[in-house]
């Protein structure tokens, strides 16, 4: 939701500016952020200010409550095509803000400020400190302020152009702030987002303060400065006259991006050629007009000072890497022209014990200023957002924004198009209807069903629930999507960011408990990996444990259990090279063993086939796509049977009943799909060609 109330200028205990009242007044009247001293300590007045902020936030939250309820009722996810893009600030506005900030703070020591775009955050939101790159403006997160401000308390470090504070003193300055905030809220994590130079400061802070709960987000760290082409600029700048500005065009090119790539992206957006020319012309003219702003941001003397600081910063950070034990997320650009960031990220990934990395192949050095990158989405997708000492996958989860959902929908749109899913549900009177009208609205609800090969059914299932019923399915997933037992050949964890963004949680008793206690709609596959990686001839066969795993927990919270079946995997591909085939080949047998050792083992005490949790990659030959069918049976009530289902035998009877219902759903769909005249892709395309490609394609009679 957009912030509509008055923005909060005072966002830290540092409420008194040492720059003087005149500067502060100008900031209040003409700039979007208030600069404050980094050394001002908390006072009774500060505590009162924070109490006032909390009251203001609660009042604002209540005021927005009705509007949010109306939006939920109308289901903003129902039509992804109509969801508008999130309006981020433009590069032109960024340069204007830099210009305004330089006018208002030409001199003075480094200081913290909170941008007005950040709006009001929850009182218990974690603190996020942004440490800038060599520009020192502190506006590097300019495009992300609004979204970040909803979930963080944000302070940005501003280093005036003429300031000559050394790297060591910058580290001490940030460290004082970190220690002060840790003392004030020891159970609240402190996030440090560092860009190039700022990343080096963040690493030094983490090494010097192992007792503080710091979460590091490092974008293209300058720890690779010794291998950077920027080093060659130092001797040039030492002899270059101040009147020359040959390097400005180079810096501008790095900041603005590749015009050809921008044109391609605009074509992808569906713009007409004359619009493309117009937008490119506008952007390039605007950026060229701010060439003088770049010159003011990095005059020769300042740039020389910053490059020399980068050299010492890189050396210091690298010497302390062994002491960094904090959770860290590395964001590296594949087309960084300043640093070898992709190569450096791999090095840091090996050295930092609690580190994850994300590679942005098409991005340049100034990652945070690019239109295609969303920092909040990256944090959520990596499961890096938490409000306490430990991550709670249920209470710390933030649902996808409408635009995040739109991007996920668009990336999976082809799956929906070629499989044309048919979803059936059962009403309370037992009538089977097309659509999800029979799905319970209120949780807790537990959906228990069959897992297709490689989980083919997941994307249409989760997307359709959100679009049609505004229900977010929280999938209970294998831990391989969240962590590794050891590094090796398994897919990078970033491959599963979309699953985490859409609410998946690692399977565990505590997470299952939390989902049901919070009245969530949980999705469970008792067959797990063995079912999703089945062998030839095993499609639609359930591989469930012999003993009940979920009935007693569901009954404890009175959850409804919805059995469901899905069919269609044999209509999109044929499994030709399965586990048994691969185990006959020594090299592949070794490969399967290595993959399996990399993931967390489950069901080690189970018996039967379900205990075989080996991980392998099935060989599938695609077919001309058929159709996916989903059938949700009548919900099974447990609310009135809590006492009865405490008995293990009674719970096991319900467990077997659920399993039987899932098998019946599968059998029903296998039989009825034979009657579907639109089971084949070609007949569906003919129908859509005559009725419109957005038209719902009919199916068999119910």
Say what the pLDDT of residue 264 is: 41
Rounded to whole angstroms, the Cα distance separating 11 from 153 reads: 7
Residue 601 lies in a domain: no
The arithmetic mean of pLDDT across residues 222-247, rounded, is 72
**CA triple 578-579-581, angle to 5 deg:** 70
Residues with Cβ < 8 Å from 81, sequence gap 6 or more?
none
Element holding 107 (H helix, E strand): none
- N- to C-terminal Cα distance for the chain? 41
Say what the pLDDT of residue 298 is: 75
477-489 pLDDT, tens per residue?
Answer: 999 999 988 888 8
Considering only 22-36, 430-444, 462-476, 657-671, which range has the smallest mean pLDDT? 22-36
Assess whether pLDDT exceeds 60 at residue 45.
Answer: no
Say what the pLDDT of residue 135 is: 87
Q: HSE-up of 193 (CA within 13 Å, CB side)?
A: 28
284 pLDDT tier (thresholds 50, 70, 90): low
- Let me know whether 308 and 370 are in one domain: yes
Domain extent at residue 420: 402-572+625-691
Question: What mean pLDDT value characterizes the chain?
Answer: 83
- Let me know whether 163 and 225 are in one domain: yes
Q: What CATH number is given to the structural domain containing 492?
A: 3.40.1130
- Let me know whether 154 and 215 are in one domain: yes
Assess whether pLDDT exceeds 70 at residue 2.
Answer: no
- Let me know whether 329 and 477 are in one domain: no
282 pLDDT tier (thresholds 50, 70, 90): low
Rounded to whole angstroms, the Cα distance separating 132 from 656 reads: 59
Region label for 602, one of left (φ > 0), alpha (ψ between -120 and 50) or beta (otherwise): beta
Assess whether pLDDT exceeds 70 at residue 677.
Answer: yes
Assess whether pLDDT exceeds 80 at residue 624.
Answer: yes
Rounded to whole angstroms, the Cα distance separating 473 from 520 reads: 8
Residue 421 lies in a domain: yes
Q: What CATH number is given to the structural domain containing 180?
A: 3.40.50.1820
680 pLDDT tier (thresholds 50, 70, 90): very high
The arithmetic mean of pLDDT across residues 320-336, rounded, is 95
Rounded to whole angstroms, the Cα distance separating 226 from 323 reads: 21
Cα–Cα distances in Å, from 33 out to 116, 136, 489? 5, 15, 47
Say what the pLDDT of residue 287 is: 53
Say what the pLDDT of residue 242 is: 58
Residue 190 lies in a domain: yes
Rounded to whole angstroms, the Cα distance separating 76 from 470 reads: 8
241 pLDDT tier (thresholds 50, 70, 90): low
- Let me know whether 97 and 223 are in one domain: yes
- Let me know whether 518 and 550 are in one domain: yes
Pair of tokens at residue 162: 């003429």
13 pLDDT tier (thresholds 50, 70, 90): very low
563-606 pLDDT, tens per residue?
Answer: 999 999 999 999 999 999 999 999 999 999 999 999 988 877 77
**Taking the alpha carbons of 218, 224, 225, 228 in that order, is the dihedral positive or negative?**
negative
DSSP letter string, 262-315 = HHHHHHHTT--HHHHHHHHHHHHHHHHHTHHHHHHHS-HHHHHHHHHHHHHHHH
Residue 44 lies in a domain: no
Residue 397 lies in a domain: no
Between 503 and 277, residue with greater pLDDT: 503
Between 215 and 120, residue with greater pLDDT: 215
Say what the pLDDT of residue 23 is: 30
Residue 609 lies in a domain: no
- Let me know whether 495 and 541 are in one domain: yes
Between 291 and 569, residue with greater pLDDT: 569
- Let me know whether 131 and 225 are in one domain: yes
- Let me know whether 477 and 343 are in one domain: no
Q: Is the pTM of this model over 0.75?
A: yes
Q: Which of 348, 382, 416 marks a domain boundary?
A: 382
Considering only 15-19, 281-285, 384-388, which range has the smallest mean pLDDT? 15-19
Q: Report the 3 state secondary structure along 635-658.
A: CECCHHHCCHHHCHHHHHHHHHHH
- Let me know whether 97 and 213 are in one domain: yes
Count of domains in the chain? 2
Between 144 and 251, residue with greater pLDDT: 144
Residues with Cβ < 8 Å from 533, sequence gap 6 or more?
453, 454, 579, 614, 615, 616, 618
447-472 pLDDT, tens per residue?
Answer: 999 999 999 999 999 999 999 999 99
Pair of tokens at residue 84: 């508008």
113 pLDDT tier (thresholds 50, 70, 90): very high
- Let me know whether 566 and 662 are in one domain: yes
The answer to whether 398 and 386 are in contact (CB under 8 A) is no
The arithmetic mean of pLDDT across residues 522-529, rounded, is 95
The arithmetic mean of pLDDT across residues 673-698, rounded, is 93
- Let me know whether 197 and 309 are in one domain: yes
- Of 619, 601, 622, 600, nearest in space to 610 by CA: 601
613 pLDDT tier (thresholds 50, 70, 90): confident
Say what the pLDDT of residue 74 is: 61
């Amino acid at each position: 939701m957009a912030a509509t109330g008055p923005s909060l200028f005072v966002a830290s205990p540092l409420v008194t500016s040492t720059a003087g009242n005149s500067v502060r007044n100008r900031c209040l009247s003409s700039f979007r952020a208030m600069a404050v001293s980094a050394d001002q300590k908390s006072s009774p007045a500060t505590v009162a200010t924070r109490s006032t902020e909390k009251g203001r936030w609660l009042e604002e939250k209540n005021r927005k409550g009705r509007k949010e309820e109306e939006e939920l009722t109308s289901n903003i996810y129902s039509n992804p095509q109509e969801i508008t893009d999130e309006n981020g600030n433009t590069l032109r506005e960024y340069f204007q803000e830099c210009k305004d900030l330089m006018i208002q703070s030409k001199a003075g020591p480094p200081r913290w400020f909170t941008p007005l775009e950040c709006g009001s955050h929850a009182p218990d939101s974690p603190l996020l400190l942004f440490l800038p790159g060599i520009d020192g403006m502190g506006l590097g997160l300019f495009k992300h302020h609004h979204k970040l401000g909803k979930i963080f308390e944000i302070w940005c470090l501003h280093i005036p152009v003429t300031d000559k504070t050394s790297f060591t003193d910058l580290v001490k300055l940030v460290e004082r702030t970190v220690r002060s905030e840790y003392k004030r809220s020891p159970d609240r994590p402190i996030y440090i987002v560092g860009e190039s130079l700022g990343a080096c400061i963040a690493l030094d802070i983490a090494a010097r303060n192992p007792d503080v709960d710091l979460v590091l987000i490092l974008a293209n760290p300058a720890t690779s400065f010794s291998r950077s082409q920027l080093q060659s600029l130092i001797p040039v700048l030492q002899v270059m006259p101040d009147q020359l500005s040959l390097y400005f065009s180079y810096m501008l090119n790095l900041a603005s991006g590749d015009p050809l790539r921008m044109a391609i992206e605009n074509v992808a957006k569906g713009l007409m050629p004359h619009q493309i020319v117009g937008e490119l012309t506008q952007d390039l003219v605007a950026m060229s007009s701010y060439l003088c702003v770049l010159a003011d941001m990095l005059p020769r003397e300042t740039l020389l000072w910053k490059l020399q600081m980068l050299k010492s910063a890189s050396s210091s950070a690298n010497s302390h890497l062994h002491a960094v034990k904090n959770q860290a997320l590395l964001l590296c650009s594949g087309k960084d022209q300043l640093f070898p960031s992709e190569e450096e990220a791999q090095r840091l990934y090996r050295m930092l014990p609690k580190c994850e990395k994300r590679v942005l192949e098409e991005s340049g050095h100034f990652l945070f200023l690019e239109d295609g990158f969303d920092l909040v989405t990256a944090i959520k997708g990596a499961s890096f957002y938490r409000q306490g000492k430990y991550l709670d996958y249920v209470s710390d989860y933030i649902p996808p924004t409408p635009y995040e959902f739109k991007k996920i929908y668009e990336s999976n749109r082809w799956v929906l198009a070629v499989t044309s899913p048919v979803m059936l549900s059962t009403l309370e009177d037992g009538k089977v209807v097309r659509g999800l009208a029979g799905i319970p609205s209120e949780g807790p609800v537990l959906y228990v069903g069959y897992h297709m090969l490689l989980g083919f059914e997941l994307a249409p299932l989760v997307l359709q629930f959100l679009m049609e019923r505004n229900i977010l399915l929280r999938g209970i997933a294998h831990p391989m999507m969240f962590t590794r037992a050891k590094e090796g050949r398994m897919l990078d964890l970033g491959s599963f960011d979309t699953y985490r963004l859409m609410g998946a949680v690692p399977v565990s008793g505590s997470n299952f408990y939390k989902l049901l206690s919070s009245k969530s709609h949980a999705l469970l596959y008792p067959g797990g990996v063995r079912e999703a990686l089945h062998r030839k001839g095993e499609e639609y066969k359930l591989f469930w444990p012999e003993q009940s795993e979920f009935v007693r927990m569901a009954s404890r919270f009175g959850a409804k259990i919805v059995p469901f079946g899905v069919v269609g995997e044999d209509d999109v591909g044929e499994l030709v090279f399965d586990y048994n085939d691969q185990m006959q080949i020594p090299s592949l047998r070794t490969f399967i063993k290595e993959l399996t050792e990399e993931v967390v083992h489950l069901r080690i005490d189970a018996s039967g086939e379900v205990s075989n949790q080996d991980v392998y990659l099935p060989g599938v030959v695609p077919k001309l796509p058929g159709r996916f069918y989903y059938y949700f049976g009548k919900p099974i009530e447990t609310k009135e049977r809590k006492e009865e289902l405490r008995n293990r035998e009674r719970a096991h009877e319900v467990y077997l009943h659920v399993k039987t219902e899932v098998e019946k759903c599968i059998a029903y769909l296998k039989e009825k799909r034979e009657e579907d005249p639109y089971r084949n892709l070609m007949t569906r395309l003919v129908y859509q060609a005559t009725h419109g490609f957005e038209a719902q394609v009919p199916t068999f009679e119910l």
